[in-house]
Amino acid sequence: MTYNRLASRSFRWLALPVLLLGGGSACSGPPKDPFAASQQFLASRPIYEQPLADGRVIPEGLPSLSAASCGSCHSEIYAEWKVSTHAMAWVDPQLQAEMTKSENRWLCQNCHTPLQVQHAQLPLGLTDNDVEKPRWATNPHFDAALQQEGITCAACHVRDGVIQGPTGVKTSAHPTAKDEIFLSADLCLRCHQAVAEYPGKTFTCTFRTGEEWAAGPYKNTPCQGCHMPPVERPAATGAAPSTGHRHWFPGSGIPKIAGIAPPKGVFPPGVSAEASWSDGKIRLQLSNSQAGHRVPTGDPERFLLVTVIFADGSGTELGRQEERLGQTWEWWPTPKKLGDNRLAPGESRELTWDPPPGTTTARLSLGRYRMTEEAAKYHNLADYPLGEVYWEQQLVAPGP
């Protein structure tokens, strides 16, 4: 399945003037300065098709922009980020598989590796105005190690050689500046609110986490309020203890690479479940009690799966029922959303089943998944963790 995900939202950092340093015209042979020429092209595109920043200037006092180098002082933050999905955003096997299917990967790299120095190749323009036909140039400032770090520290924190943060605390380690965007959902929505259509293409972009959040009961809690909980600790080696913030950015808890994820239990699942057997029916109460948006959110392929297995007194299976909660899309010939039965934030919903005659036990389970096995097969993703059951309950028939 080939479709991409893009965001649209005005974003202050992108309002920075784009450098137009003598990049030659993309039409007249190779430009003298492909970096500047690409910036010139990208500045003509919608905001969600642009990188967040260029990343060429390393803040004074620091050896490099790499997360590992930040980690020499910010060791706990580094250890948290390292197992986050943000750190996996480039090495993600699904992204890598999807990017082999279309030259539209110049779009993907802007969110999954948001600094321009992380891009091996730079788009200079489009042939026939077709997003799948970019004219590529080699990036003279490409940093291969930084590319592997995906959404690295500098993607959020470094602008024009200055470390930006929520307080602008003074330190001799590097220049700092305060930017209130760190306390706002806008920082996240630059990538997590994503709606774009490409007429004639079989991919679209449809991330609406920002809209779902803004329309719900948690609109006064920015994303950070749940996804970056506070913790008392020194922000860096040798600094005084202060209130800092966890950098796991936990979500579904499904790892990208088996075994690499925030510790289990540090983040609640969005949807909780409670089962009962009454008036001859099996009942499951689902509540989206913890998430600030629909569950699942983001990628349209994600889903929750409820399974009920009915058995008789000898344990023989008498039947099973499944209920999928997610979006349903048709991708060909043109992407079209056919349905959506996800739980809105704060929403509770009861599912009921009539057990087949002779049922004495019913085993219910609830799992969250990023994609189906068929989709994984299509992408040749053999070892990709697809999801997991996170809740189970066994019910016994109530006495007569």
Specify the residue, 49 or 359, whose C-beta has the smaller distance to ligand HEC: 49
Distance CA 168, CA 163 (A): 8
Specify the residue, 88 or 275, whose C-beta has the smaller distance to ligand HEC: 88
In the complex, minimum distance from the CB of residue 11 to ligand HEC, in angstroms, rounded to a whole number:
9
| Residue found by looking up tokens 């993703």 in the block | 381
Under the binding rule (CB under 6 A), the answer on residue 184 touching ligand HEC is no
Specify the residue, 75 or 352, whose C-beta has the smaller distance to ligand HEC: 75
Percent of the chain as helix, strand, coil, to the nearest 5? 25, 30, 50
In the complex, minimum distance from the CB of residue 201 to ligand HEC, in angstroms, rounded to a whole number:
10
Identify which of 306, 302, 270 has the alpha carbon closest to the alpha carbon of residue 288: 270
In the complex, minimum distance from the CB of residue 379 to ligand HEC, in angstroms, rounded to a whole number:
9
Under the binding rule (CB under 6 A), the answer on residue 362 touching ligand HEC is no
Segment 112 to 131, residues that bind ligand HEC, using CB under 6 A: 112, 114
Element (H, E) at 121: strand 121-126
Supply 224's token pair. 């950070």
Segment 25 to 64, residues that bind ligand HEC, using CB under 6 A: 48, 52, 62
Question: In this structure, what DSSP letter does residue 128 have?
Answer: G
Under the binding rule (CB under 6 A), the answer on residue 218 touching ligand HEC is yes
Per-residue contact string for residues 144-183; x = within reach of ligand HEC by CB under 6 A: -------x-xxxxxx----x-xxxxx-x-xx-x-x---xx
In the complex, minimum distance from the CB of residue 308 to ligand HEC, in angstroms, rounded to a whole number:
20
Q: Which of 83, 89, 284, 325 binds ligand HEC (CB under 6 A)?
A: 89
Specify the residue, 119 or 157, whose C-beta has the smaller distance to ligand HEC: 157
137 forms beta bridges with 122
Q: Which of 26, 83, 146, 187 binds ligand HEC (CB under 6 A)?
A: 187
Specify the residue, 156 or 311, whose C-beta has the smaller distance to ligand HEC: 156
Specify the residue, 31 or 292, whose C-beta has the smaller distance to ligand HEC: 292
Contact 342, 325 (CB under 8 A): yes
State the Cα torsion 69-71-72-73 to the nearest 10°: 120
Contacts of 298 (CB under 8 A, 6+ apart): 5, 192, 207, 209, 251
Distance CA 95, CA 77 (A): 25
Contact 322, 306 (CB under 8 A): yes
Specify the residue, 124 or 155, whose C-beta has the smaller distance to ligand HEC: 155
What is the C-alpha end-to-end distance of the chain, expressed in Å? 51
Identify which of 352, 327, 328, 337 has the alpha carbon closest to the alpha carbon of residue 275: 352
Segment 313 to 342, residues that bind ligand HEC, using CB under 6 A: none
Binding residues with ligand HEC: total (CB under 6 A): 102
Segment 219 to 248, residues that bind ligand HEC, using CB under 6 A: 221, 223-228, 235-236, 239, 242, 244-245, 247
- Burial (CB < 10 A; 0-12, 13-18, 19+), residue 199, is exposed
CA angle 124, 128, 129 (to 5 degrees): 60
Segment 63 to 82, residues that bind ligand HEC, using CB under 6 A: 65, 67, 69-74, 77-78, 81
Options 25-33, 138-146, 204-212, 349-357: segment touching ligand HEC (CB under 6 A): 204-212
In the complex, minimum distance from the CB of residue 206 to ligand HEC, in angstroms, rounded to a whole number:
10
Segment 272 to 311, residues that bind ligand HEC, using CB under 6 A: 290-293, 295-299, 301-302
Contact 113, 279 (CB under 8 A): no
- Burial (CB < 10 A; 0-12, 13-18, 19+), residue 347, is middle
Specify the residue, 115 or 311, whose C-beta has the smaller distance to ligand HEC: 115
